[in-house]
A and B are shown apart, each in its own frame.
Chain A
Amino acid sequence: MSNNLWRRFISAFALSTVYLFTALALVPLGLVLWFTATQGLPAVTHLEFFINAQRPSGIPGGGVANAIAGTAVIVGIASLAAIPIGVLGGIYLAEYGVSRWANWVRLASDVLVGAPSIALGLFAYALVVVPLHHFSGISASVALAVLMLPVVIRTTEGAVGLIPNGLRESGLALGIPRWRVSLQLILPAAAPGVITGALLAVARAAGETAPVLFTAFGNQFLTLDPSHAMSTLPLVVFRDALTPYKDLQQEAWGAALLLVVMVLVINLGSRWVLRRQIRLAQQL
């Protein structure tokens, strides 16, 4: 009997250790959020932070408008390329997913997700920056588009796969061609999932530093022209955080806070939409 008691004690002890480790896993999340919020808030509570471009240390009134504009333009162009291609690719995997060809696409996407983002930067540098002879926003868009593509493909596949086969079969039974069933019946039904997947890819791309280091390069001035060097929010964090000047470090924390808020809103929002989508799909 005492042997059994001992076994149950060991089990309870192990379970509490597992809980403890799990709590430990969430500690860094809390710390990162807390420090970004407390260190970044003093910077973002000034309106100048959003409307002025960066200024050298010691000159008050500096902001990150140049980086916000740069991030928007670069990620916008990358999305224009990656999202349509990724969605069509994902539809192919969901609709015709049992072929060997499709498995190669899946494997390549999964491998591409794990590719070092710095290598994507080198790739865009060789492909765009070297022929044009100068850094540009568009070269950063190329690197980020490659980064977004596999994410969009796999999330689209998942979202379209959730739609029950009955909807597809009823469309086909009415004599509607396969492509119209897919694009006008299935895709709209899966749209919330597809859109949140695309937004997750956008959030990931907007937070990347390594691929834009020597493609967008950074720019102190506000510009919307993607054929020239541009700044992005992660570049501001990376460069300013490593300077010895307090006011620039403050600016870096502020930019980090903007990134964290964007990521939190998109991720929590997408979880909410996806849960709703799964519930709706079960009712169909």
Chain B
Amino acid sequence: MAAAVDSVRRPASIPRPPDRYRTFTAIVSWAAPASLILIIGVLFQQAWPAVTRFGAGFLLGTEWNPVTNTFGALPFIFGTVVTSAVAIAIALPIGIAVAVLLAEPGAQGVRGALGTGIELLAAIPSVVYGIWALYVLAPWTLLHIETPITDHLGSIPFLGGIPRQTSLFTASLVLAVMILPTLSAVSRDVIRAVPRGLRESTFALGATWWETTWKVVLPAARAGLFGASILALGRALAETVAVAMVIGNRPEIPHSVFSPGYTLAAVIANEFAEATGDVYQGALIEIGLVLILVTLTVNILALLLVHSARGRALV
């Protein structure tokens, strides 16, 4: 790294000339932490009237009715948690498989093409996923996944009811696709950080490729893989537009994953521009505050895990 010039230690007696360039760039670089602090501060200040008005009951209220000014966030919290959890469950095996292949030594050509593909998956705008999911994925899911499952396994809780095109499950599928690049890219880095000697000595003992990967490499990378999943969870919690287009936008707690629901981010996207009155707007900003505090906590936790897995301190 370029910082090597700087790390040369000087004797304390020789005064260092003031490095104004360093000071200047350091101050400019604080734009990042400053905007983070400013965002949280502004959202807190905007949401504060709503926080004091609704109290803690806001997070547990199940009714969302702008006409009567009754606002409870539980349906949105429920939808966000369920869609993100299902998305992680779908994406995890696939993401780890991709990461294992990407981290494998050799096979440069295949790896390059695969890496490009995964990167493009990350680059496609979420609204494009949204329109695709609305017109292509949702009808297909209803026909080939939701209807067969409700027909045969409908007696199992959360799998019954009348399936819909726009449902928690469809939203989870889109989310799974969208978090896959994060999951596989971070997992790849974590798996690559496993010491080579560990893998090589396992091979030397006569273990097969699968035994090396499953019993040695992946367990060694366990904490980092957990961090990668949490990071992907943060992405899933924060995703807005693609989910808003396929989740059905119904503010109630459904009895089945094949029924319409709502998420924290989606309700802000759909209702904020039309929200009339301070109470309604305040409730939506408070939802935004809850969302950003949860995602930031999740992200910091994930970064801690991933960094310690790569053997670097976070701060």
Tell whether A and B belong to one assembly. yes
Chain B positions within 8 Å of A100 at CB level = 315
Inter-subunit contact A28/B177 (CB<8 Å): yes
Question: Does B2 lie within 8 Å of A163, measured CB to CB?
Answer: yes
The answer, yes or no, to whether A276 is at the interface (CB within 8 Å) is: no
Query: In the complex, A237→B292 CA distance in Å?
Result: 26
Any chain A CB within 8 A of the CB of B60?
A: no
Interface 0/1 of A85-112, CB less than 8 Å to B: 1101111111111101111110111111
B272 to chain A, nearest CB (A): 5
A108 to chain B, nearest CB (A): 4
Of the candidates B30, B209, B237, B238, the one whose C-beta lies within 8 Å of that of A117 is B238
A66-101 interface mask toward B, CB cutoff 8 Å, 1 = contact, 0 = none?
A: 000000000000000000011011111111111011
Q: Is A284 an interface residue (CB 8 A)?
A: no
With beta carbons under 8 angstroms apart, the residue of B21, B39, B117, B135 that contacts A26 is B117
- The B194-227 residues at the A interface (CB cut-off 8 A) are 208-211, 213-214
Q: How many residues of A contact B (CB 8 A)?
A: 102
Against B, the Cβ 8 Å flags (1 = close, 0 = not) of A103-139 are 1110111111011111111110111000000000000
Provide the bound-state CA to CA distance between A267 and B116, in Å: 9
Instruction: Say whether chain A's binding surface is mostly helix, strand, loop, or mixed.
Output: helix
User: What chain A residues lie within 8 Å of B279 (beta carbons)?
Assistant: none
User: How long is the Cα–Cα vector from A203 to B123 in the complex, in angstroms?
Assistant: 8
Residues of A with C-beta under 8 A to B28: 85, 88-89, 92
Q: A14 within 8 Å of B by Cβ?
A: yes
Query: Which residues of A are found within 8 Å of B131, using beta-carbon distances?
Result: 36, 237, 241, 252-253, 256
Does A107 contact B315, Cβ atoms closer than 8 Å?
Answer: yes
Query: What is the bound-complex CA distance between A209 and B127, given in angstroms?
Result: 7
**Cα separation A263 to B21 with both chains bound (whole Å):** 35
Query: Quick check: B121 and A29 within 8 Å, CB to CB?
Result: yes
> Which chain A positions have C-beta within 8 A of B159?
none
Tell me the count of chain B residues lying within 8 A, CB to CB, of chain A: 89
Question: Do A88 and B273 touch across chains, with their CB atoms under 8 A apart?
Answer: no
B198 to chain A, nearest CB (A): 18
The answer to whether B36 touches A112, judged by C-beta atoms less than 8 angstroms apart, is yes
- Taking CB as reference atom, which chain B residue is nearest A256? B128
Is the C-beta of B157 less than 8 angstroms from some C-beta in chain A?
Answer: no
Contact check, A267 vs B120: say whether CB atoms are below 8 A apart. yes
Q: Is B143 an interface residue (CB 8 A)?
A: no
Q: How far is the CB of B194 from chain A (nearest CB, A)?
A: 17
Looking across the interface, which residue of chain A has its beta carbon closest to that of B1?
A: A161
- Of B130, B235, B240, B300, which one neighbours A111 at CB under 8 angstroms? B300
Is B7 on the interface with A (CB-CB < 8 A)?
Answer: yes
Most chain B beta carbons < 10 A, residue from A85, A107, A165:
A107
Which of A15-23, A45-53, A54-62, A220-228 sits within the interface? A15-23
Residues of A within 8 A of B116 (CB): 268, 271
B19 — which chain A residues lie within 8 A by C-beta? Answer: 178
How far apart sit A258 and B25, CA to CA, in the bound complex (Å)? 37
In the complex, the answer to whether A178 meets B121 with C-beta atoms within 8 Å is: no
Known: A18-B97, A36-B132. A96 touches B6 (CB 8 A): yes
Residues on A with C-beta less than 8 A from B30 are: 89, 105
CB–CB B124/A260 < 8 A: yes
B126: contacting residue among A10, A88, A105, A209, CB under 8 A: A209
Contacts of B43 in A (CB 8 A): 119, 122-123, 126
Do B238 and A96 have beta carbons less than 8 Å apart?
Answer: no
A–B complex contacts, Cβ < 8 Å, 8 sampled: A86-B31, A89-B28, A103-B314, A114-B231, A119-B288, A121-B272, A178-B19, A238-B241
Per CB-CB distance, the 7 closest pairs between chain A and chain B, nearest first, are A207-B125, A89-B29, A116-B238, A21-B97, A179-B21, A92-B25, A11-B208
New contact pairs (4) apart from A108-B32, A126-B285, CB-CB < 8 Å: A89-B25, A111-B299, A115-B238, A209-B125
